[in-house]
Structure 1
Amino acid sequence: MTKPNFTKTVCALAVSTALTSPILLAQEQSTEKKGLERIEVTARKTVESIQEVPVAVTSIGEVELAEKGISTVTEIQQMSPNTTLQKSRGTNSTLTAFIRGVGQEDPLWGYEPGVGIYVDDVYMARPQGAVLDILNVERIEVLRGPQGTLYGKNTIGGAIKYVTKAMSGDTELAVKGTVGSYGQKDIKLSGQFPLMEDKLYLGFAYANLNRDGFGEFLTSALDGQDRENYNKDLQAYRLTLEFRPSDDVFMRLNYDNTEDKSNSKGGFRLLPSMLTDAPVPDSVYDSYTSLPTWNKVENEGLSLTVNWDINDNFLFKSITSSREGYSPTNIDFDNTSLRIFDVPAIYDDEQFTQEFQLNYQTDGVKLVSGLYYYKGDSCGQYDAILDELGISLGLPGYTSEVGGCSNSKSTAVYMQGSFDLTEKLSLTAGARYTKEEKDAEVFNAVYFGTMYPESGWVPGFVRDETLVAASQNVVLDDNADWSRFTPKLGMEYQYSPDMMLYASYAQGFKSGAFNPRATTAEPAADPEIVDSFEIGLKSDWNDTVRFNATLFMLDHKDRQYVTLIPDPDDLTINNQRLGNVGKSEATGAEVELTVLATDSFEWYATLGYIDSKFKQVKSVTPDGTPIDITDQFSITNTPKTTANLGFNYTINSSMGDFVVNGNYYYRSEYSLVEKGNLLTQDGYGLVNLGVNWYSDDGQWTVGLYGKNLTDEEYLVGNYPFVDVTTPPYSTENPGPGTGGDTTLIGYYGDPRTVSLTVGYKF
């Protein structure tokens, strides 16, 4: 865990200087300005200027993404204040997303996310495969705060919208190749061509992304395993068919497929093992394992979008989609060559959605309305292999197997309108009614020996299906339903053509859930509710300075948490209950600033501050006595301060145009473990630089990018299985936890990397 390159005071000084001097800086420039770019977004499900939308939203377009060398959606967190987007613990493709202190860290089936992910307005229900690589993208939008009225459930923190490019109608072909640190070798192809002139177009995009590991598995209990750790081996492609039968009708059929065959990520042992020779490695990217190192995340989707401009006032839109995901994964919790706490698992998901929208717009009125249907089946199975625990008890090893499904149906109707009350004052009002049904099945089994999810999981393993059938015990088979009315109310005041003030109240909810690790027939937890109050300013000054600011307060009720019920006579490791046992609050501020100092030089700054904390967390003692453990909990993945300071400088020359950019991104200290304050990442900063060259004919591009140039080491995930409550153990001196070992594991962000990209458009 590292210290930042410069202190919070220096960071605050830099940002405050940026915030107090933009107008002066702009006025000092004598050259004629080309003006700030108009940025269009669909945050309210209709195309609007970002400066006219009374929502805290950040938009990063195609050109900016390319010039900064941004390769995955996780890098977008640097551009959006109070936002955390990280690769999860065991794979490259599973997303951990938090906005304003709200999210979901555990990606197990049955749990619902707190930040919604959308690809071309299609909701991705599961975090597996949600670390999207930048491929054929037009822009990425980050909507902060509850979006329950227009986007529905599971957007209580906000939403991430990934918008792909519409076709131009011309024949195009582009290729990009990248080489870089750690043997990086990427190739991207994209193109389009008309099948019927001015009517029917076919587009495609393909990416093959490869990189060696940042580290290695130092030891493995299995022969012939690939020892690379934190490597990348991913293929993705997208096919698009667009049809324009008339000027009023547009249809788009999309298919996308991603297959990530990167190795399972091994964690860094922050404590030496007590049971075997597994000291703390020299590199944070090195690990040990007793599981196979292979891993796979598959995700594919098909969607059909139809837009019909009925007349000048009405627009009808239909979005139909189907998605599937399949992920067999190997997670070695203890990261040793012994089977102390190994968890091989399978995630299997399917979903179908249908949305109909009817939008109306005339002078003084904008109205968005819709009907929405969602059906999702989320299933999985894992084997918690604790052989060393079994052996210590005189048994031939020990495996606790848990599996099941959580299936849900959701229907909703929504409407939101913006109405001009006077020439300057407008009202926004909206509501959504959602009806949700969920059924779940959970089974448990105990095997005295080593069990894997499938035959052949490790060489020579055969799964004894007769034993499995005799051992599996369905502990939960239940259903539940909920309904929720989520309103939004706001006022906007257009002080001048270039300045808008707004205030709003919004509510969102996260779905109720059954415990996917249940050991008894426990009831479902009710939905989580977030109430958010926000006031904001959006302003442009002399078309050279853009200053947007937001103050917010949110109340997060009925938080779903697992309460552990210890039972010394029960060998199972999952004796737990899921309930609505938490409540938290947050207040904060966000600032986004862009200054066009000259036609050639632009600089920008963002600042996020949040004070988030638990107000109540309830639990019970082994005999069922209620207790309050609020003082043991902290909000994870939420630094108090996030800041970004960067620039973009264009140089015109006879050799073509050069664009130089750079930024410094800072995150203050944040917790990684909710209970017990077991692991905290110190504040740190990342330095990134890029140089781009564009040929005069627009065909060639070359980009050189350096990321994390100071080679900071910073935690993004963890597994904490240690005892800090039984004397003489403490947070400073932890003892053995689940599996009988001191399992405190960290996962880290990318080290320093340098890459060179060459692109050509035919």
Structure 2
Amino acid sequence: MKKTIKFHPIAAGVLLACGASFTYADTGIEEVTVTAQKREQSLQEVPVAVTAFNQDALTENGVTDLTDIQKLTPNTTLQVSRGTNSTLTAFIRGIGQQDPLWGFEPGVGIYVDDVYVARPQGAVMDVYDVDRIEVLRGPQGTLYGKNTIGGAVKYVTKKLTGDTELKIKGGIGSYNQRDLVIAGQTGLSETANIGFAIASSQHDGYGENTVTGAENYNKDVLSGRVSLELNPSDALWIRLAADSTQDDSNARFGYLMVDTPWGPETPPSSVYDHSSNMPSDNSVKNSGMSLTADWTISDSLSLKSITSSRKGDTDTNIDFDSTNRPDFDVPAYYKDDQFTQEFQLTWNGDNAHLVSGIYYYDGHAEGGFDAVLDIYKYILPTVFPNGLTQNVSGAVDTTSIAAYANFEYALNDSWNLTLGGRYTRDEKSASVFKANYDGLYSPMFADHYDGTPAAADPMGILTDYSNDDTWGQFSPKVGVDYQINEEAMVYASYSTGFKSGGFDMRGDASVMPETVNGYDPETAKTFELGIKSQLFNNRIRLNADVFHTNYDDMQVTVQDFSPATQGFASAVINAGSSEIQGLELEMLASITDRLNANFVYGYTDTDYIEVMSGGVNVADQWGAFQYSPTQTALAQLNYTMPVAGGDLVLNASTSYRGAMQIYAAPSLLDTDGVTLVDAGATFFSGDGQWQMSLQGKNLRDEEYRNAGYNSAGLVTGYYGAPRTIALTGSYNF
């Protein structure tokens, strides 16, 4: 089907503006170093679509957590999921995973200092004590492995210098925002340094429970990190690090968008309000430890070892109806732990580079929830006079081992060839249980209910099985780049990746018996053409790419009401294939020695080719991809002026995200495009000891929906933050 691209006015206007003449100064655009190919390189040398932000850029843009990166990166969705403040929904170029259910794998990999974070719970990390953040777009299966078929986000912390330092940063703002970060380091000896950082982030709710007064959309997060770095010799560097995050924010409840089928309801006055009968209790705990050792064997050879363990624990409440009745309530818990080990060998020759390694992952994820369905008192009052509860619980164990190599060879002074490959072997074993209980709340969550819980024994077992499966996958990469001159490089690549197969923890074997067999991996194969350029005496950085992705064996969740079981039957099947194509443009222009302009534009065209449901291809009914607006854009001006012996940086931006589909199929939750206006002023003292920043976000106070639930005639929406203004300051002692 032929489609016409319609550019948003922001994109067209900024393209025209950036085509005007510029005034040039002696200084140029700062060089950015990235590790997208697991070795340090200039951003402009890497034949990969990657965006990077250093600490100053993060401060000037008011970036407080990973979700603030979304507007600065083309074709990228990074946002808070529906129920908590710290669960991440991530999509890049149309590929990701919006369901944080245990056992499901993400489509975008999150990494902290090269340690893979397997679960989305707790992945909305606050940005503090950070050196840079990198966003890699497109499949990264060769170097980063499974579950990076959309891309990867790398959170890179600072290395210690050994200097004795103490930094205090505080912030106040809208909705009683109260932030505090304390970070410091010191040298224990000539070969040992220790550092730490503690961050508390709090604000009151944007809304409330209209019945109880409990806050909604509040924030209460405490996190910390400590590291010990050793340099026993010039050839050996060792880091032992530990981190922990505790999110005690209230569970987030959605806004009831339409009357319930047995309404009418009186909608709250604000989209941030709700009337849920469920308690607001919520807890998300995450912690981890890592040991990294980097040994320089010779001038050309080095060996790195990365050993890590992580664990998480979540207890939360989800209300599908957001009313003061238990029509459709879901108390839930998740637990996970992981151990990873990577050995990486790097070789640098005169005209060649090799990065190779082996990777081991061992993980356990478990959880359970009740679908408390008091709606059956209305639907089938004679059959279920006490209501109905469906309990779902289970666990999955994963063992994965991989070997990879990425070889770059300079054919001559202009041409470079890249060949890479990774073989991964995944083993999974799972146990799944699903049963109906007469009444409200199963024995698993009986303590959550102040009434009489359901009977201890189920009235019907729908799913009860254990199974295991193994998958092997090879992910190759081939690329070539050509250095046109000192200012520009073009590249072409073919890269692949896959998202692991698994077992559906919600699967209803009584209706869909094939669920016990699990589902296979899904794959993405991407062709990409790009250009990296620094033009006009280093005054303009212009990076652009076009891509085409074949997305096959898509893991599609099929969930329908089942008259046979009087509940919701679910299964994940490999039912889909699609094509994704698009373009990305990033331009940074140093117009004068004080004025910079930044423009980001992304276009993604998604097209379902086949989605099989019940033996019928329903691709035409599915519309666009979820969480993947066709167009994203950012126009930004940055002006620096000398003030009081330091620099005052003024920053203003307008960002646009096109219409977005929340689920795989169209629904009432789908949103129109939204344009947000942000502005800020940041002062850096001349001696580098202190800084202050005033940041305003969503200054037009736009109301926009970014998530929701749509089930059993119940439609509840979740919304982005309203207008906020914050003043932060930091001082280095």
**TM bucket, shorter chain:** over 0.9
After superposition, give the CA deviation of every residue in 1:232-263 in whole Å (9 maximum; x if it has no partner).
01100001111111111101111110010100
Deviation at 1:398, TM superposition (A): 1.2
- Alignment partner of 1:568 is 2:563: yes
> Using the alignment, how far apart are the partners of 1:48 and 1:280 within structure 2?
54
> Using the alignment, how far apart are the partners of 1:164 and 1:701 within structure 2?
20
Counterpart for residue 433 of structure 2: 443
- Alignment partner of 1:751 is 2:722: yes
Counterpart for residue 396 of structure 1: 386
1:385–1:398 CA contact under 8 A, matched in 2: yes
Counterpart for residue 585 of structure 1: 579
Deviation at 1:584, TM superposition (A): 1.3
Summarize the Cα distance change of 1:618–1:459 in structure 2 as closer, same or farther, 3 Å threshold.
Answer: closer
Give identity over the alignment, percent.
45
Summarize the Cα distance change of 1:578–1:696 in structure 2 as closer, same or farther, 3 Å threshold.
Answer: closer
> Using the alignment, how far apart are the partners of 1:399 and 1:459 within structure 2?
12
**Partner of 2:275: helix, strand, or coil?**
strand
Counterpart for residue 724 of structure 1: none
Quick one: which amino acid aligns to residue 410 of structure 1?
Answer: S
Counterpart for residue 206 of structure 1: 198
Counterpart for residue 328 of structure 2: 341
Counterpart for residue 529 of structure 1: 523
After superposition, give the CA deviation of every residue in 1:659-702 in whole Å (9 maximum; x if it has no partner).
11121111111211221443321111111111112233322211
**Partner of 2:268: helix, strand, or coil?**
coil
**Partner of 1:496: helix, strand, or coil?**
coil
- Alignment partner of 1:142 is 2:131: no
Counterpart for residue 725 of structure 1: none
Counterpart for residue 16 of structure 1: 15
- Alignment partner of 1:643 is 2:651: no
Quick one: which amino acid aligns to residue 329 of structure 2?
Answer: D
After superposition, give the CA deviation of every residue in 1:349-396 in whole Å (9 maximum; x if it has no partner).
111100000000111101100000001111100000001314643321
2:229–2:237 CA contact under 8 A, matched in 1: yes
Summarize the Cα distance change of 1:455–1:144 in structure 2 as closer, same or farther, 3 Å threshold.
Answer: closer
1:383–1:453 CA contact under 8 A, matched in 2: no
- Alignment partner of 1:608 is 2:602: yes
**Partner of 1:12: helix, strand, or coil?**
helix
Summarize the Cα distance change of 1:334–1:215 in structure 2 as closer, same or farther, 3 Å threshold.
Answer: same
Q: Which residue, 504, 517, 522 being the options, matches 2:493? A: 504
After superposition, give the CA deviation of every residue in 1:184-213 in whole Å (9 maximum; x if it has no partner).
0111111101111x2111110001111000
**Partner of 2:221: helix, strand, or coil?**
strand
2:236–2:294 CA contact under 8 A, matched in 1: yes
Quick one: which amino acid aligns to residue 450 of structure 1?
Answer: L
> Using the alignment, how far apart are the partners of 1:650 and 1:564 within structure 2?
54
> Using the alignment, how far apart are the partners of 1:743 and 1:572 within structure 2?
15
- Alignment partner of 1:673 is 2:663: yes
After superposition, give the CA deviation of every residue in 1:689-746 in whole Å (9 maximum; x if it has no partner).
111122333222111110010111111111011xxxxxxxxxxxxxxx2xxxx31111
Counterpart for residue 543 of structure 2: 548
Deviation at 1:535, TM superposition (A): 0.4
Does 145-154 or 582-591 show the bigger shift?
582-591
- Alignment partner of 1:94 is 2:87: yes
Counterpart for residue 155 of structure 2: 162
Equivalent residues in 2 for 1:110-509, closer than 5 Å: 110-196=103-189, 198-219=190-211, 227-276=214-263, 278-390=265-377, 392-394=380-382, 395-451=385-441, 457-458=447-448, 460=450, 467=456, 475-509=464-498
Deviation at 1:8, TM superposition (A): 5.4
> Using the alignment, how far apart are the partners of 1:577 and 1:454 within structure 2?
23
> Using the alignment, how far apart are the partners of 2:49 and 2:374 within structure 1?
50
Q: Which residue, 698, 702, 720 being the options, matches 1:708? A: 698
2:603–2:631 CA contact under 8 A, matched in 1: yes
Quick one: which amino acid aligns to residue 306 of structure 1?
Answer: A
Summarize the Cα distance change of 1:17–1:74 in structure 2 as closer, same or farther, 3 Å threshold.
Answer: same
> Using the alignment, how far apart are the partners of 2:468 and 2:504 within structure 1?
12
Summarize the Cα distance change of 1:456–1:341 in structure 2 as closer, same or farther, 3 Å threshold.
Answer: closer
> Using the alignment, how far apart are the partners of 1:317 and 1:439 within structure 2?
31
Deviation at 1:272, TM superposition (A): 2.1
Quick one: which amino acid aligns to residue 716 of structure 2?
Answer: I
Counterpart for residue 4 of structure 1: none
> Using the alignment, how far apart are the partners of 1:50 and 1:232 within structure 2?
35
Quick one: which amino acid aligns to residue 108 of structure 2?
Answer: V
Counterpart for residue 37 of structure 2: 44
Deviation at 1:280, TM superposition (A): 2.4
TM-score, L = length of structure 2: 0.95
Counterpart for residue 595 of structure 1: 589
Summarize the Cα distance change of 1:701–1:295 in structure 2 as closer, same or farther, 3 Å threshold.
Answer: same
> Using the alignment, how far apart are the partners of 2:443 and 2:715 within structure 1?
25
1:455–1:462 CA contact under 8 A, matched in 2: no
Summarize the Cα distance change of 1:365–1:655 in structure 2 as closer, same or farther, 3 Å threshold.
Answer: closer
Counterpart for residue 513 of structure 1: 502
**Partner of 1:580: helix, strand, or coil?**
strand
> Using the alignment, how far apart are the partners of 2:532 and 2:585 within structure 1?
10
Counterpart for residue 730 of structure 1: none
Counterpart for residue 652 of structure 1: 642
Deviation at 1:445, TM superposition (A): 2.0
**Partner of 2:64: helix, strand, or coil?**
coil
**Partner of 2:567: helix, strand, or coil?**
coil
Summarize the Cα distance change of 1:455–1:145 in structure 2 as closer, same or farther, 3 Å threshold.
Answer: closer
2:207–2:272 CA contact under 8 A, matched in 1: yes
Aligned-residue CA RMSD (Å): 1.8
Deviation at 1:509, TM superposition (A): 0.3
Does 631-640 or 479-488 show the bigger shift?
631-640
> Using the alignment, how far apart are the partners of 1:717 and 1:60 within structure 2?
27
> Using the alignment, how far apart are the partners of 2:264 and 2:270 within structure 1?
16
> Using the alignment, how far apart are the partners of 1:527 and 1:680 within structure 2?
28
**Number of matched residues?**
718
2:205–2:218 CA contact under 8 A, matched in 1: yes
**Partner of 2:253: helix, strand, or coil?**
coil
> Using the alignment, how far apart are the partners of 2:348 and 2:429 within structure 1?
40
Summarize the Cα distance change of 1:187–1:277 in structure 2 as closer, same or farther, 3 Å threshold.
Answer: farther
1:338–1:388 CA contact under 8 A, matched in 2: no
Unaligned runs of 5+ in 1: 1-6, 221-225, 621-625, 722-736
2:602–2:632 CA contact under 8 A, matched in 1: yes
> Using the alignment, how far apart are the partners of 1:757 and 1:93 within structure 2?
22
Unaligned runs of 5+ in 2: 1-5
> Using the alignment, how far apart are the partners of 2:91 and 2:349 within structure 1?
37
Summarize the Cα distance change of 1:108–1:371 in structure 2 as closer, same or farther, 3 Å threshold.
Answer: same
